[in-house]
Every structure is written in structure tokens, then in C-alpha cells.
């Protein structure tokens, strides 16, 4: 009796699923954080809450962590000729919280 060969299913190549050049991608979490900062900002929790409303499939804790990290990263220039967002920090009245805006 001859053994039958079992073939593994073919995996799709990344090129087959990639978007065509020039196609617009939807705004991601980081782009949304930038947009919220430019639209007036707020405390880290307020910014994360606004972003979480746009991405209900993501965990709020993850969005909060991303927001904290990105506010710091976005305020620093990256690479040669890199631009940074001018993020303003103000104390919220009657609170120790900071308000962030761009």
C-alpha cells in the first residue's frame, strides 16, 4: 500500500492581503489621540475615553496605557527633521490632574 501525502493548506502571502498603494487607511488609535489633542484635549482619562468610544472592540485599559505613552512620545521630535506636537500641560482647577492639548 502506498502512503498518501497530506498537503498543508496554503497560507496567503502578505502581498495578497496588503492594500493597494495609495489606498487610504482608516485612522488608527494614535491618529485618533492626535486628533483629540488638536481638538482641545483634556486629561489623560478624558482623552482615552474619547478614543475608546471610537474603538469599542479594544480594551479601555490598553487604550489608557497607549494614551499615556503616546502623549510623551508625540511631544518629542523623532529622527532627522522630525517634528513633535507642541503639547501644552495645564493644571485642572481644583485638582492635581493635568490637561493636555496640542
Domain ranges of the chain: 28-77+85-101
Contact yes or no for 86/71 (Cβ under 8 A): no
Residues 49-98: pLDDT tens digits?
999 999 999 999 999 999 999 988 888 877 676 677 777 778 877 777 77
76: three-class secondary structure by DSSP: coil
Burial per residue of 66-92, b for 16 or more beta-carbon CB atoms within 10 angstroms, e otherwise: bbeebbeebbeeeeeeeeebeeeeeee
CATH topology of domain 28-77+85-101: Arc Repressor Mutant, subunit A (1.10.10)
Instruction: Write down the pLDDT at residue 21.
Output: 60
Contact yes or no for 33/42 (Cβ under 8 A): no
Residues 5-38: pLDDT tens digits?
766 666 665 555 555 666 667 778 989 998 998 8
Amino acid at each position: 500500500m502506498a502512503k498518501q501525502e497530506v498537503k498543508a493548506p496554503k497560507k496567503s502571502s502578505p502581498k495578497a492581503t496588503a492594500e493597494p498603494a495609495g489606498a487610504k487607511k482608516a485612522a488608527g488609535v494614535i491618529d485618533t489621540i492626535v486628533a483629540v489633542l488638536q481638538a482641545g484635549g483634556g486629561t489623560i482619562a478624558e482623552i482615552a475615553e474619547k478614543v475608546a468610544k471610537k474603538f469599542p472592540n479594544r480594551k479601555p485599559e490598553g487604550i489608557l496605557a497607549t494614551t499615556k505613552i503616546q502623549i510623551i512620545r508625540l511631544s518629542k521630535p523623532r529622527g532627522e527633521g522630525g517634528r513633535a506636537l507642541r503639547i501644552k500641560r495645564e493644571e485642572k482647577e481644583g485638582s492635581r490632574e493635568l490637561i493636555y492639548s496640542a
